[in-house]
Amino acid sequence: MWLRSSIIGLTATFCFNFAPTATLCFLTRHLAQNSNDEGQGLAGFGAATVCFRHCRIIVQGTTDIVRGLYDAFARGDVAAVLQTLDAGITWREADGFLYAGGNPYIGRQAVLEGVFQRLGSDVQNFLVLPENFIEGGDSVVVEGRYKGTVKATGTPVDAQFAHVWQLRNGKVVRFQQYTDTRQWVRAAAC
């Protein structure tokens, strides 16, 4: 959809393209040529033509942000995952899970040390496979499966999970994990 606008002598064309994400393309066509005797135009800028080509503002929904987290995790880009977490995040592992003893983990560093680093050292070929995303306002619930092998016992794990993500201003402020804790405990104890 194209919208043409003239505001205080500024003529602009706006292109709104709402695909999976909303994209705003802003192309400035013409800045008013009303110069004074010294060649100064509007607000002292002088007569000018300003053009911003390919200026894009991408508005991500909560599901897009959460999908990005899983994509980053799959690439091994833990820094990108941590960057999406709010500095004061409250992270809770499922009651009875291997790392629930540290609940709640408060802050990025606590999540990194108490969960991510431990998973990396305890589970070989660890995969988080999201299957279904359910968005509700500032929250997203993700259903999926964990796969991997507990290193200490060599026992494979293929467990369902549900993750509840709550976002504010594009950052994750709260996370709650639900999973088959019995399977995880058995795999770790074998």
* Residue 142 confidence (pLDDT) above 90: yes
pLDDT of residue 12: 37
Nearest to 150 by CA among 182, 128, 123: 123
Question: Band of the pLDDT at 184, cuts 50, 70, 90?
Answer: very high
Class in CATH terms, 62-189: alpha beta
Domains of the chain by residue range: 2-59, 62-189
Helix residue spans in the chain (DSSP H): 62-75, 78-84, 108-111, 117-122, 181-189
Q: How confident is the model at residue 190 (pLDDT cuts 50, 70, 90)?
A: confident
Confidence of residue 8 (pLDDT cuts 50, 70, 90): very low
Cis omega (within 30 of 0) on the bond before 104?
Answer: yes
Nearest to 140 by CA among 116, 112, 109, 175: 175
Least confident range of 44-58, 63-77, 144-158, 169-183: 44-58
Phi, psi of 141 (to 5 degrees): -105, 135
